[in-house]
Amino acid sequence: MDAVTYSDDRVMSFLGEHFIPLKINTRENKELLCEYGIDWSPIILILDHKGKEHYRIAGYLPPQEYLAQLALGRGKAEFNTQNYQEAINRFSEVACYYPDSDASPEAHYWMGVAKYKKDGSPEGLMRDWKYLAEKYPHNIWAKKVSFLCE
């Protein structure tokens, strides 16, 4: 991660703007490994100010996919704290800026759910899920909404 991903200026800028990055020596902090269920490295955890985990990224990712996953993690954190409009905004960023990433189908899934949670209307949910099923038909997130096409 240090040699490729963290040396990318876009990654460092995004991290500095949206997160408080903390690198932990896994040999010296065994209690944190146990507390957060970390059994492999690298593991990126997106935590809130109380230390509650909202998203996890396991393993190496190249810069562009890492950025997409970080953006998705921001959306999940907003969603989990019931900030649905902010979650929609974050998921929209993933869909807009990283449409070919592995994070984009999941962002479309959760964007629909956040819209439904925000206003109780199924229209936004259905629109996003149908788009997901059409754009990414072989993705696991599309399979989760495949009942729409039956």
Q: Work out how many domains the chain is built from and give that number.
A: 1
In a domain, 46, yes or no: yes
Supply the CATH number for residue 15's domain: 1.25.40.10
What value does the mean pLDDT take over residues 45-58? 84
Task: Pick the closest to residue 45 from 68, 79, 77, 85 (CA basis).
Answer: 77
Contact present, 110 and 76 (Cβ < 8 Å) = yes
Give the sign of the dihedral formed by CA 122, CA 128, CA 132, CA 135.
positive
User: Does residue 4 lie in a domain region?
Assistant: no
Domain region containing 30: 9-149
Q: What is the pTM of this model?
A: 0.86
pLDDT, tens digit (0-9, with 9 covering 90-100), for 93-114: 999 999 999 999 999 999 999 9
Whether 80 maps to a domain, the answer reads: yes
The Cα 49–Cα 82 span in angstroms is 15
For 52-56, which contacts have Cβ atoms below 8 Å and span 24 or more sequence positions?
54/80, 54/81
Check pLDDT > 60 for residue 1: no
| Pairwise CA distance, residues 4 & 41, whole Å | 16
Residue 140: the pLDDT is 93
Q: Is 46 helix (H, G, I), strand (E, B) or coil?
A: strand
Least confident piece of the model among 4-8, 31-35, 93-97, 140-144: 4-8
In a domain, 121, yes or no: yes
Residue 62 is assigned to a structural domain of this protein:
yes
- Flag whether 2 is in a domain: no
* pLDDT, mean of residues 131-144: 92
Mean per-residue pLDDT, 21-36: 74
